[in-house]
Amino acid sequence: MRGVIETYDHGVGIMMGPMWARDCGGIAPGDRLRIEVVPEGPQQDDLADDIKDAIAADPDAEAFFNALAQFYRKAYLRYIDATKRRPEQRPERIAEVVALLAAGVKAHPKD
């Protein structure tokens, strides 16, 4: 499930609506649950080495990439991967994406 981790009077938690309690059987309001939080979407360590190294070499691009929602990350990676028939374009596209990330651009202008 997706949810926002928030601070409440009694601590930190994720607000789950009545449908969660109904559909998950055995969960009642006020129950404490053990949860595991994992990042969503492609992470920097999951990237091909050439992309990972290029993003890591630019601190602004790296910080912005790590802050992007998975939708935007995947779109940039698809744009780079679209060079499979023209592999000579891959380094150019990686450089273009790093520059866009460093400038704080969420989506490729052609998208």
pLDDT single digits (tens) 49-91: 999 999 999 999 999 999 998 889 999 999 999 999 999 999 9
DSSP label of 17 = -
Strand partners, 13: 6
pLDDT of residue 76: 94
**Dist CA 7 CA 28 (whole Å):** 20
Q: Which pTM was predicted?
A: 0.69
What is the separation, in whole angstroms, between the first and last Cα of the chain?
A: 28
Q: Where are the beta strands (DSSP E) in the chain?
A: 5-8, 11-14
pLDDT of residue 111: 55
Per-domain residue ranges of the chain:
1-37, 44-102
